[in-house]
Chain A
Amino acid sequence: MWSISDKGEREFTGGKEDWAAVAHIAENCPGFKPDDEDEMVADEAVSCYNCRYRRWTIKSFVCCK
């Protein structure tokens, strides 16, 4: 589910459209914090895609928490 980059960053391997998986991850993540409303893209309120600590990459996102 996660790959580790050369920089030691955790990148989600499911890409930018795996809505159910990132909702499940975020629901169980103590570090989840909602981003500004304008930056939210997932319909599920609690989702890595809506988290302040996700940093978008070309294919997916990196978890910065």
Chain B
Amino acid sequence: MKILVSIDDTDTMKMDGVEVRGTGELSGMIKQAIEDQRWGRCEPITRHQLLIHPDIPYTSHNSSMCFEADIEHVFLKPLIDFASDFLARESTPDSDPGLCVAVTDRISRPGRLIAFGYMAKNYVLTKLAAYNLAETLGIHLSEHGGTGQGVIGALAGAGLRLSGNDGRFKGKLKIKAENNMIKAGDICSRVKVDMVKCLEEGIVLQDDDMVILGDHIKPVWLYGKSVLLVQAIDQGVASPACWQTCSKSQLKDF
């Protein structure tokens, strides 16, 4: 069965010289543990930006991390137990970690979960609202330290991942190509990218379209696909490629 595993608010800002693991790193460790224990297969992690507001006690950027996994039913409880213990143990002492595990097929009204995700990008929400919705929809939601405020972002992260249209993938892709130039079709066949698309226009590249690879190859989560966004190259530049991958600053709003 397919599940969404989402966590939030696991870290604090490092100020005293002690290394602090970010939420993304902890999410990656949970994902790795699921695969190491052969509980199932996991999809890449997405990062979801939530509202920046003075009334929200985020660390520095207020984002949550989510991934999908395909596991056997029998491993659901062990997985939740493991992730709960892991967050309680590995999160920074002053943080407010939250964990959400949603069985995709069992969510009674998925639209409400997606709506909660988008609400969390635009409004200040409460823990009570998060717990009430999780209970109504049959979703596991738990807190593992501090105020437990991370349950809001954790639930929102699951909703935004489920929406298929929010966030960018954790990490960046490495693609070897001569002169850093490659066909769009080869990108899709070599790495976890389903579609190469123009950032500003609704143009989806054809397999033979040539793309220049920048040093920041990071897909985003759009249309329920891993989409690599590109921009058109100035026509005045003599090159067999008409496209180049987008930079960090161009992807900052995803």
- Indicate if B170 sits at the interface (CB-CB under 8 A): yes
What per-residue 1/0 map shows which CB atoms of B139-172 lie under 8 Å from chain A? 0000000000000000000000000000010111
For B, the interface residue count at a CB cutoff of 8 angstroms equals 25
Q: Are B63 and A39 in contact (CB under 8 A)?
A: yes
A32 at the interface (CB under 8 A from B): no
Determine the main DSSP class of B at the interface with A: loop
**Which of B14, B24, B248, B251 contacts A52 (CB under 8 A)?**
B14
What does the 1/0 interface line of A23-50 toward B look like (CB < 8 Å)? 0000000000001111111110000000
Are A64 and B63 interface neighbours, CB within 8 A? no
The answer, yes or no, to whether B62 is at the interface (CB within 8 Å) is yes
- Complex Cα–Cα for A40 and B218 (A): 12
Judge whether B15 is part of the interface by a CB distance below 8 angstroms. Answer: yes
- Chain A positions within 8 Å of B47 at CB level: 38
User: Once the chains bind, are A58 and B52 in contact (CB under 8 Å)?
Assistant: yes
Tell me whether B248 and A35 are in contact (CB under 8 A).
no
Quick check: A57 and B52 within 8 Å, CB to CB?
yes
Cβ-based interface call for B252 (8 A): yes
- A57-B52, A58-B53 in contact; A42/B60 too (CB < 8 A)? no
In the assembled complex, A56 has its CB within 8 A of some CB on chain B: yes
Q: Which residue of A lies closest to B250 (CB)?
A: A43
Do A41 and B22 touch (CB < 8 A)? no
A55 vs B63: C-alpha distance when bound (angstroms): 12
Residues of B within 8 A of A (CB): 13-15, 22, 24-25, 47, 52-54, 59-63, 168, 170-172, 216, 247-249, 251-252
Extra 5 A-B pairs, beta carbons < 8 Å, given A39-B60, A55-B60: A38-B24, A38-B168, A43-B249, A58-B53, A64-B60
* 12 A–B contacts, CB within 8 A, in A order: A36-B22, A36-B24, A36-B25, A37-B172, A38-B171, A52-B14, A53-B60, A55-B60, A56-B60, A56-B62, A58-B54, A64-B60
